[in-house]
C-alpha cells in the first residue's frame, strides 16, 4: 500500500501568495489554531484581526516558519513550504519591537540580511540605500537606531525587511509601540508604501480601527478559528456572527423577546450606532423605518460626535451616535423620553 504521508502534496489549482490548508497548531492540550483554511491573494494588504489568544500571531508564525503546524499545509506562491526553515521561505517579518541592532548604523541594519546571504558589498550598499529611499530615510543611513524616533525606527525595520525583496511581508503588530497620533500617521504611510512596492502584506493586529483603515481584506479570529473573511465594508456592515458584530466597532444587539418586539422576529440582530436616530418621544417612525421608545441614560460629547446611551422600553440598552451640530451638544438630554428609529436595511441578522 502507498504511504500517503510521504507522497508529494498536490499544488493548489490556483496560485495565491499565501495559502493555509486545514492548518492546526497545538501546544500540549491547548489548540491555538484549529483546522484553519485561508488564502491571501497576490498584492493584497491582508489583516489577521482578533483579541489576544485568538490564534492570529500563531498563524503568522506558521507562515513565517517560526512554528511548524501540527497538521495541515502551508503554501507560499504555489510552493509547499510546510517543512521549510524560515530562511528558505521568500518572506520577511517586521516585529513590534523592530529588533534593530543598536551598535550598527541604520544602513548597516538594513544591509545585514544581505551580508548574511553573502551579497557583494557594493550591491549591499546600493540596495540598502534604495530601501531607505523607499521609506524616505535616505539621509539617515549613518545614524544609530538610538538617534531615531519611534516612527523612524519603524521605517528602518520596514526597509530591512523590504531590501531582501520578499514575496510576502509579515507584520506582527508593528505599530503597537507607537503613540496614537504617530500610529495613525504610520497607518496611512504603511498602506501607501504597500501600494508602491506591490508586495503582499499580511498584518497581525488586535486594533479594529487599524484593520479597517489599512486592509483590503480582514480575517477575524476567535478561539483559533476564523469567524469571517471579507473586505472592511463586509465585516463592519455585514457581520456574519455575534462575535464579529461585537468585536469590530460598536454594535447594538437584540435577541429573544426583545428582538420580537423590535424587529418582529426571533433570532439575533445587530444595528450599528451611526445607523440610528433619536427623535421626540411623541414622533412616529417614517414609512420603511422601525422605531422603539426609551429613555436617555447618558450623553457623551466626543468632539465631532455625540453618543447617547438609551435604555429601550423593550429591554436592551443601545448607543446612538450622531454628528455634533456645529461642534456643540444639542438635542435630547439625560432623562429625556425619546424615540429611537432606524432604516430597515440597517438591521443585520447574525448567524
* pLDDT for res 26: 96
pLDDT in tens, 162-171: 888 899 999 9
Where exactly are the structural domains of the chain? 4-246, 253-349
What is the layout of strands, in order, in the sheet containing 337-343? 276-280, 337-343, 289-302, 305-312, 317-323
pLDDT in tens, 191-237: 888 888 889 999 999 999 899 999 999 999 999 999 999 999 999 99
- Do the beta carbons of residue 171 and residue 210 sit within 8 Å? no
| Spatial separation of the C-alpha atoms in residues 181 and 150, rounded to whole Å | 12
Q: How far is CA 189 from CA 136, 218, 295, 299, in A?
A: 10, 19, 44, 35
CB 109 within 8 A of CB 100: yes
Cα–Cα distance for residue pair 61/173, rounded to 1 Å = 13
The domains spanning 4-246 and 253-349 adopt the same CATH topology: no
pLDDT tens by residue, 251-289: 999 999 999 999 989 899 999 999 999 999 999 888 889
DSSP class of residue 12 equals P
The set of cell numbers assigned to 57 is: 500571531
Written out in words, the top-level CATH class of the domain with range 4-246 is: alpha beta
Does residue 8 have a pLDDT over 80?
no
Give the pLDDT of residue 176.
76
Which CATH superfamily includes the segment(s) 253-349?
Answer: Nucleic acid-binding proteins (2.40.50.140)
Q: How long a stretch of residues is the chain?
A: 351
CA distances from 186 to 137, 160, 177, 182 (A): 14, 17, 12, 6
**Are residues 307 and 321 in contact, defined by beta-carbon separation less than 8 angstroms?**
yes
- Other beta carbons within 10 Å of 289: 14
Q: What is the pLDDT of residues 302-337, one digit of tens each?
A: 888 899 999 999 999 999 999 887 655 578 899 999
Question: pTM to 2 decimals?
Answer: 0.85
In the block, cell 447617547 appears at 308
SS3 content of the chain, % helix, strand, coil (to 5): 30, 30, 35
Amino acid at each position: 500500500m502507498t504511504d500517503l504521508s510521504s507522497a508529494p502534496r498536490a499544488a493548489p489549482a490556483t496560485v495565491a501568495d499565501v495559502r493555509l490548508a486545514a492548518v492546526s497548531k497545538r501546544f500540549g492540550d491547548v489548540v491555538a489554531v484549529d483546522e484553519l483554511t485561508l488564502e491571501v491573494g497576490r498584492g493584497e494588504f491582508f489583516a489577521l484581526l482578533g483579541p489576544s489568544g485568538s490564534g492570529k500571531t500563531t498563524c503568522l508564525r506558521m507562515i513565517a516558519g517560526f512554528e511548524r503546524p501540527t497538521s495541515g499545509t502551508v503554501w507560499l506562491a504555489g510552493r509547499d513550504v510546510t517543512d521549510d526553515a524560515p530562511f528558505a521561505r521568500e518572506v520577511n517579518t517586521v516585529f513590534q519591537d523592530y529588533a534593530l541592532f543598536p551598535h550598527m548604523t541604520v544602513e548597516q541594519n538594513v544591509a545585514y540580511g544581505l551580508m548574511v546571504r553573502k551579497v557583494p558589498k557594493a550591491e549591499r550598499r546600493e540596495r540598502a540605500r534604495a530601501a531607505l529611499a523607499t521609506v524616505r530615510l535616505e539621509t539617515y543611513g549613518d545614524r544609530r537606531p538610538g538617534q531615531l524616533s519611534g516612527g523612524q525606527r519603524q521605517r528602518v525595520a520596514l526597509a530591512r525587511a523590504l531590501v531582501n525583496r520578499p514575496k510576502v511581508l509579515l507584520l506582527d503588530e508593528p505599530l503597537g509601540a507607537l503613540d496614537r497620533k504617530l500610529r495613525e500617521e504610520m497607518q496611512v504611510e504603511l498602506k501607501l508604501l504597500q501600494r508602491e512596492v506591490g508586495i503582499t502584506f499580511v498584518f497581525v493586529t488586535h486594533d479594529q480601527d487599524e484593520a479597517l483603515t489599512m486592509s483590503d481584506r480582514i480575517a477575524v479570529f476567535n478561539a483559533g478559528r476564523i469567524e469571517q473573511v471579507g473586505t472592511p465594508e463586509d465585516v463592519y456592515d455585514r457581520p456574519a456572527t455575534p462575535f464579529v458584530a461585537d468585536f469590530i466597532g460598536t454594535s447594538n444587539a437584540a435577541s429573544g423577546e426583545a428582538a420580537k418586539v423590535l424587529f418582529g422576529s426571533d433570532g439575533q440582530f445587530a444595528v450599528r450606532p451611526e445607523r440610528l436616530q433619536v427623535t421626540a418621544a411623541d414622533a412616529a417612525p417614517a414609512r420603511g423605518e422601525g422605531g422603539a421608545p426609551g429613555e436617555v441614560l447618558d450623553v457623551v460629547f466626543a468632539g465631532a460626535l455625540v453618543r447617547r446611551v438609551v435604555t429601550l422600553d423593550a429591554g436592551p440598552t443601545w448607543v446612538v451616535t450622531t454628528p455634533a451640530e456645529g461642534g456643540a451638544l444639542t438635542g435630547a438630554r439625560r432623562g429625556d423620553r425619546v424615540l429611537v428609529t432606524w432604516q430597515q436595511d440597517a438591521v443585520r441578522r447574525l448567524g
